[in-house]
């Protein structure tokens, strides 16, 4: 009985991964063409650049804020956590129009900095909640000992909190990068110029320009998927390790 169940589960899993196999099969032999496609290369560069900068920005902002929120009994803490929840769940189509209008007014449309600002806003909540929970587990006695030795909050943050939370910081950085790498709607709305498009937008609009070029599209999909898989395997491992540590 158990054996039948196991075999059935493996078959389900194989069927589940079918579209991947098909995409990879169709992509073979189209990579050389793709690497001459300048728009694709532009979008690849844009996404890498935006992803890295957003990750850096979000992790530094969120870690400092989460540190202050856990270490002091501030009234604003609840406000910020609530705002984070609200920002992460409402339909994002509703901000598309206003952001478009304001961004074209201050000429942030089509710029990487505009996208970085927006992505920072929408990926902050997750990281903020995650780091807030993580910092709460770091004992306060360490801070107090350092404070007795005359360390200010900044020193405590840099020298005590950050070194202890490097795994959590990298996981959050990777999560933000993946968020940026996967996000479609905002990047789609806030870029008009083909050269400013992030990768998902370029992938979505691939067919309108190259109507039948399925080979190149699948090659582009495979390339876009590689970092996602590597990074998400890494985060999964980190999450698992943390869970095991908690259980011990």
Partner 1 sequence: MKAKNLSLMPVLIIFILFGIVPVFYSGFMSFQGIWLKTPWLNKSFVYFDNYRLILTDPQCYQALWHTLGFVLITLGIEVSAGFCLAYALFRATMGKHYLIQLGLFLPLATPAVLSAQMWRLFFHDSQGLLNRVLEHLHMISQQIPWLSEPVLAWFTIGVAELWKVTPFVTVVLLSSLLNIPRQTWEAAYLDGAKGWKCIRFIAIPLIRKTILVIILFRMLDAIRVFDLVYVMTQGGPGGATDVLGLFVYRALFSEMAMGKASAASIIMIGLAGVLALIIFLVYRKYTKDYE
Residues between 158 and 217 that touch partner 1 (CB under 8 A): 178, 181-182, 184-185, 189, 200-201, 203-204, 206, 214, 217
41 binds partner 1 (CB under 8 A): no
Chain positions 116 to 145 lying near partner 1, rule: CB under 8 A, are: 117-118, 120-122, 124, 128
17 binds partner 1 (CB under 8 A): yes
CA angle 196, 31, 199 (to 5 degrees): 25
**What b-and-e string marks burial along 144-183, b requiring 16 or more CB atoms within 10 Å of the CB?**
eebeeeebebeebbeebbeebbeebbebbbbbbbbbbbeb
| Among residues 16, 141, 148, 246, the one that binds partner 1 under rule CB under 8 A | 16
CA distances from 95 to 48, 83, 128 (A): 24, 15, 21
CB of 145 to partner 1, least distance (A): 20
List all residues 6 or more positions away from 171 whose beta carbon is below 8 Å from its beta carbon. Answer: 130, 235, 238, 239
241 binds partner 1 (CB under 8 A): no
| Among residues 33, 113, 155, 232, the one that binds partner 1 under rule CB under 8 A | 232
| Among residues 72, 78, 159, 209, the one that binds partner 1 under rule CB under 8 A | 72
| Among residues 48, 52, 61, 162, the one that binds partner 1 under rule CB under 8 A | 61
| Structure token digits, residue 99 | 């952001």
Binding segment for partner 1 (CB under 8 A), chosen from 37-45, 132-140, 141-149, 228-236, is 228-236
CA distances from 116 to 42, 119, 150, 184, 196 (A): 16, 5, 37, 14, 12
19 binds partner 1 (CB under 8 A): yes
List all residues 6 or more positions away from 89 whose beta carbon is below 8 Å from its beta carbon. Answer: none
83 binds partner 1 (CB under 8 A): yes
Query: Helix 112-136 vs helix 38-71: angle between axes, to the nearest 10 degrees?
Result: 40
| Among residues 48, 52, 87, 151, the one that binds partner 1 under rule CB under 8 A | 87
229 binds partner 1 (CB under 8 A): yes
| Structure token digits, residue 103 | 């961004």
5 binds partner 1 (CB under 8 A): yes
69 binds partner 1 (CB under 8 A): yes
């Amino acid at each position: 009985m158990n054996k039948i169940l196991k075999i059935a589960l493996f078959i389900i899993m194989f069927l589940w991964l079918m579209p991947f196999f098909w995409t990879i099969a169709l992509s073979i032999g189209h990579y050389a063409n793709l690497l001459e496609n300048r728009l694709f290369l532009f979008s690849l560069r844009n996404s890498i650049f935006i992803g890295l900068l957003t990750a850096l920005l979000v992790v530094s902002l969120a870690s400092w804020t989460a540190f202050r929120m856990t270490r002091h009994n501030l009234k604003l803490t609840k406000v910020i956590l609530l705002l984070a929840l609200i920002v992460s769940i409402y339909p994002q189509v509703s901000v598309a129009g206003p952001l478009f209008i304001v961004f074209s007014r201050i000429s942030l449309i089509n710029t990487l900095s505009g996208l970085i600002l927006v992505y920072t806003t929408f990926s902050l909540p997750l990281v903020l909640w995650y780091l807030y929970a993580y910092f709460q587990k770091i004992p306060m006695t360490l801070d107090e000992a350092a404070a007795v030795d005359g360390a200010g909050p900044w020193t405590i943050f840099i020298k005590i909190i950050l070194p202890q939370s490097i795994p959590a910081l990298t996981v959050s950085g990777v999560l933000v990068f993946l968020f940026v790498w996967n996000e479609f709607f905002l990047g789609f709305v806030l870029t008009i110029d083909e050269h400013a498009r992030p990768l998902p937008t370029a992938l979505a609009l691939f067919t309108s320009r190259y109507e039948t070029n399925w080979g190149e599209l699948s090659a582009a999909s495979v390339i876009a998927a590689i970092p996602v898989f590597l990074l998400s395997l890494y985060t999964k491992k980190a999450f698992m390790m943390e869970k095991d540590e908690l259980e011990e």
